[in-house]
């Protein structure tokens, strides 16, 4: 029970490609360790660059590192100075020729890693965890995601006992392999301990064969049917049009023109108790109901 498969690892080779793209040969373990070193170093080095993922490709003598970032300006620096520095540092680390490419993420609200890190940063800034989760969910759904689930675990709100809370909106079909689900985990280092943040984002479903080469994946705009259909319900759950109609009808039925407070003098006088008991023939409104006719007052 409770042994859950990683949503991305589960879809590898079906609709997702690998983040490391090379042939290992006899030195598979060494290359794997080197990849991990590169990723750790870059995520610490470009801490505020909004880095979502780092794709590593290898040929015999060259390593190509592609950085997927929401803020390419910070990573590139003035006139590309920052990139050149990073390239030199990676050369020292790996002792191989390194090439760096930068890939801009157009819609960071649809990237699970950036969303999770955003919530973690808010928690570190002492913002209420419920508020952080709900505002994030709203902004992701507004950008056209089909569904999102956010879960935070730890000493929420500084409580003595650790617990986990989750909120979700839309659909997140984890058992459907063709569903394009992005998943990420981030940690908020608060004064009272670590709080884990997990985010699942469904961007639609992928039909047909998808190109699994690493830099095409679903990082920029997702293929498949992203977003909510036009006729579907808004945030409240019930369709907006229908809700509006019903509300209008009810109001119209209950308070038409001058029925409730008494109509104009003469004819059928208005009646405070409701329209069931008419208020006499001649005069103005009858306050007590229809037992005493208005007469010729």
The whole-number pLDDT of residue 292 equals: 52
Contacts of 285 (CB under 8 A, 6+ apart): 261, 262, 263, 269, 270, 271, 272, 279, 294
Task: Provide the phi-psi class of 256: left if phi over 0, else alpha when psi is between -120 and 50, else beta.
Answer: beta
Q: Can you list the pairs that 131-137 forms with residues at least 24 positions away whose Cβ atoms lie under 8 Å?
A: 133/165, 133/167, 134/167, 137/167, 137/168, 137/169
- Mean pLDDT over 156-171 rounds to 96
Assign residue 238 a region (left: φ > 0; alpha: ψ between -120 and 50; beta: otherwise).
beta
Beta carbons within 8 Å of 150's beta carbon, 6+ residues apart: 115, 119, 133, 136, 137, 166, 167, 168, 197, 198, 199, 200
User: Minimum mean pLDDT among 143-157, 211-225, 242-256: which range?
Assistant: 242-256
Please, are residues 227 and 160 in contact by the beta-carbon 8 Å criterion? no
pLDDT at 272 over 80: no
The residue-averaged pLDDT of 134-141 equals: 96
pTM value is 0.70
Higher pLDDT, 287 or 129: 129
């Amino acid at each position: 029970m409770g042994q859950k498969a990683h949503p991305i690892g589960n879809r590898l080779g079906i609709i997702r490609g690998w983040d490391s793209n090379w042939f290992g040969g006899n030195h598979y373990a060494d290359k794997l360790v080197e990849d991990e070193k590169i990723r750790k170093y870059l995520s610490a080095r470009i801490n505020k660059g909004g880095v979502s993922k780092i794709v590593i490709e290898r040929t015999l003598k060259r390593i190509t590192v592609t950085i997927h970032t929401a803020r390419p300006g910070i990573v590139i620096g003035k006139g590309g100075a920052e990139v050149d520095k990073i390239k030199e540092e990676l050369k020292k680390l790996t002792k191989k020729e390194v090439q760096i490419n930068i890939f801009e993420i157009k819609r960071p609200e649809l990237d699970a890693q950036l969303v999770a890190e955003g919530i973690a940063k808010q928690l570190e800034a002492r913002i209420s965890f419920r508020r952080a989760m709900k505002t994030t969910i709203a902004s992701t759904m507004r950008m056209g995601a089909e569904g999102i689930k956010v879960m935070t675990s730890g000493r929420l709100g500084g409580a003595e006992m650790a617990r986990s809370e989750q909120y979700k909106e839309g659909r997140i079909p984890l058992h459907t392999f063709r569903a394009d689900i992005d998943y990420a985990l981030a940690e908020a280092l608060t004064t009272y301990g670590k709080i884990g943040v997990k985010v699942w984002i469904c961007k639609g479903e992928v039909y047909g064969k998808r190109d699994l080469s690493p830099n095409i994946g679903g990082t920029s705009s997702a293929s498949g049917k992203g977003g909510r259909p036009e006729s579907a319900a808004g945030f409240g759950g019930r369709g907006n049009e229908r809700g509006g109609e019903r509300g209008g009808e009810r109001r119209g039925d209950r308070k038409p023109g001058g029925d409730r407070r008494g109509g104009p003098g003469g004819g059928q006088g208005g009646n405070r108790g409701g329209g069931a008991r008419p208020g006499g023939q001649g005069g103005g409104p009858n306050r007590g109901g229809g037992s005493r006719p208005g007469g010729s007052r």
